[in-house]
A and B are shown apart, each in its own frame.
Chain A
Amino acid sequence: EIVLTQSPGTLSLSPGERATLSCRASQSFSNNYLAWYQQKPGQAPRLFIYGASSRAAGIPDRFSGSGSETDFTLTISRLEPEDFAVYYCQQYGSSPLFTFGPGTRVDIK
């Protein structure tokens, strides 16, 4: 089973700042099948990034994903008030077992 770790656990930033979130896998997996989801309190997760770097429908271009093999990054170029949330990474493509990371909380400083 691939184990995902995310860092930092919490990121405290101000609107307009740049956010860099890390997701590291215990082993490399196929085709960069790495996704990022955003979750706000009391809401369901929402798909933001898939294939490590492709934005899902409706996701603004201030969000970008990068990385390969075992190290992946989600970057928010300029934080907007609605971006403060928890972000989870997920590896997929290792059917039928796949996992989520523990999450990074992006807080308003």
Chain B
Amino acid sequence: QVQLVESGGGVVQPGGSLRLSCAASGFTFRSYGLHWVRQAPGKRLEWVAVVWYDGSKKYYADSVKGRFTISRDNSKNTLYLQMNSLRVEDTAVYYCARDTSYFDSSGRFYVTELFDYWGQGTLVTVSS
């Protein structure tokens, strides 16, 4: 079965850095787009970033652009989120989520932005 397991969360001071990982299993990792989505305590879900199946395209929410970097290692079935210049407002549970992405008959890849599997999340706390 599909499994996504996040790790790497913790407590960090403002301005610090952290790298999150998401280990995947149970599906052909290299064929799917993957996202990071976060949820601050008591708040709504907020999309953070997406990476294409081969890492060729990446998009970010304005709130993290220039500070966070999404990447993937298809040889290790692992998704990453490098978070730099962390702010108090980045405090949240960070989820990795699989996109219901697909290839059309001509081999073109599409991301749907619909999430069919999620990890259990890892908590990032930015505090002095």
Number of interface residues of A (CB under 8 A): 24
B32 to chain A, nearest CB (A): 14
Mark each residue of chain B from 39 to 51: 1 if its CB lies under 8 Å from any CB of chain A, else 0.
0000011110010
Residues from 78 to 109 in A contacting B, C-beta threshold 8 Å: 88, 90, 92-103
Also in contact, A93 and B112, with CB within 8 A (given A45-B45, A103-B44) = yes
B50 contacts which chain A residues (CB < 8 A)? 96
Number of interchain pairs (Cβ within 8 Å): 49
- Choose, from B72-80, B84-92, B116-124, the stretch at the interface: B116-124
How extensive is the interface on chain B, given as a class? 10 to 19
B103 contacts which chain A residues (CB < 8 A)? none
Interchain CA distance A47-B111 in the complex, whole Å: 16
Interchain CA distance A90-B61 in the complex, whole Å: 15
Q: Is the beta-carbon distance between B118 and A100 smaller than 8 angstroms? A: no
| B102 touches A (CB below 8 Å) | no
Query: Among A35, A43, A46, which residue has its beta carbon within 8 angstroms of that of B114?
Result: A35
List chain A positions with a Cβ less than 8 A from chain B: 33, 35, 37, 43-47, 50, 56, 88, 90, 92-103
5 more A-B residue pairs beyond the given contacts A43-B120, A95-B59, A100-B45, with a C-beta to C-beta distance below 8 A: A33-B114, A47-B116, A56-B116, A90-B114, A100-B44
- 30 CB contacts below 8 A, A to B, read A33-B113, A35-B114, A43-B120, A44-B95, A44-B119, A44-B120, A44-B121, A47-B114, A47-B116, A50-B100, A50-B114, A56-B116, A88-B44, A90-B45, A90-B114, A92-B112, A92-B113, A93-B113, A94-B113, A95-B59, A95-B111, A96-B59, A96-B113, A97-B61, A98-B113, A99-B47, A100-B44, A100-B47, A102-B44, A103-B44
